[in-house]
Amino acid sequence: MKMIFVTSNRGKVREAERYFSPMGVKIIQMKVEYPEIQADSLEEVAEFGIRWLKDRLDAPFFLDDSGLFIEALKGFPGVYSAYVYRTLGNDGILKLLEGVENRRAHFKSVVAYYDGELHIFTGKTEGRIIHDKRGRGGFGFDPIFQPEGFTKTFAEMTTEEKNRISHRGKAFRAFSEWLKENLI
């Protein structure tokens, strides 16, 4: 079985491939830029993306909208994560948190699948923003995020290790369980 993943992010594709290939699902990346609206939640951004894409692509397909929510910054960058990563980057986030004691943060991922109807699967992982970047794996904010209960950052983990505990891995688990019941 093949699944189209609409994303321009190669790191997300790598995680999806590692997650789904053992189930016999082949992930095909499709790079179609879709408008990411300014909204209050990742769910709204994902739903808008699906509504825009469904008139332009053959179903089924899915997308992933994710964000890093930092408690001391009242959830920033959250829905603005892509823009903030492009502009401030990890160094900018570390600067914003200089002298800040509360390092708690979480990642959230919203996977939206469209097969004529919209299906939403979410995952969340708690952790903290460390003081210096560590690790070369993963992508995005991974070098500065250490999940709760672990001493490694996401960037120091293999893709399999990250998938086991990450926001996206959890959303993929819910998605794959749904697929097993409904399709595979």
Active site residues: 65
- Helix (H) / strand (E) element for 145: namely strand 145-147
Q: Which is nearer to ligand ITT, 169 or 179 (CB)?
A: 169
Task: Answer yes or no whether residue 76 interacts with ligand ITT by CB under 6 A.
Answer: no
Query: Residue 17, Cβ neighbours under 10 Å: how many?
Result: 16
Choice from 4, 62, 66, 121 touching ligand ITT (CB under 6 A) = 66
Nearest residue to ligand ITT on Cβ basis: 140
Residue 127: strand pairing partners = 105, 147
**Residue 5, SS3 per DSSP:** strand
**Is residue 65 part of the contact set for ligand ITT (CB under 6 A)?**
yes
Amino acid letter for position 147: P
Task: Determine, following the binding rule CB under 6 A, whether residue 156 of this chain makes contact with ligand ITT.
Answer: no
- Bridge partners for 63 per DSSP: 112
The minimum distance between CB 68 and ligand ITT, in angstroms, equals: 6
Nearby residues of 130 by Cβ (< 8 Å), 6 or more positions away:
103, 144, 145, 146, 153
Nearer to ligand ITT, 119 or 135 (CB): 135
Binding site for ligand ITT (CB under 6 A): 7-9, 12, 36, 64-68, 81-82, 85, 107, 138-142, 154, 166, 168
